[in-house]
Amino acid sequence: MNPQLAADQAEDRAIAGYRDPVEMEFRREAADLIEKLGWSQGRSRQPTGEVCADEALIVVCKVAPLLLFDSLMQNLEQEIGQDLRAFNDTPDRTKEQVLAALRGTL
């Protein structure tokens, strides 16, 4: 698929408030993984196993096509209004806010 077309479609869906059910399942799995392993800020993965939002999505999307992961990240970042890593690592950010963003309830 043409990257610009994919970006335009993602923007149209975000504007319309549409959330792809497959993407949402991966996002919920990433949130569940953070709850299981713990949440990390400033590092993708802590030596003790905690993971950031971006790393959790990478882990759960391992078996997904790259195009799905790219679309998922683009749609999520559109929803939160910034880069996921920057959102996760904002100094006053809480684990609950990150989980809500992943679950689409922020």
Residue 9: predicted pLDDT: 56
Q: 4: burial class by Cβ within 10 Å (0-12, 13-18, 19+)?
A: exposed
Here the tokens at position 55 are 């790393």
Q: Determine the pLDDT at residue 5.
A: 56
pLDDT in tens, the chain (106 residues): 455 555 555 555 554 466 778 888 889 999 999 999 999 999 989 999 999 998 999 898 886 667 778 888 898 999 999 999 999 999 999 999 999 999 988 8
DSSP state of 61: T
What is the crossing angle of helices 66-80 and 53-60, to 10°?
150
pLDDT at residue 22, rounded to an integer: 82
Number of domains comprising the chain: 1
Dist. CA 61–CA 75, nearest whole Å: 15
How confident is the model at residue 69, as a pLDDT? 82
- At which residue do the structure tokens 């963003």 appear? 101
* pLDDT of the residue at 37: 96
Are 85 and 93 contacting, i.e. CB atoms less than 8 angstroms apart? no
The count of other CB atoms within 10 Å of the CB of residue 79 is: 15
CA torsion angle for 66, 81, 94, 70 (degrees, to 10)? 0
* Domain span including residue 45: 3-103
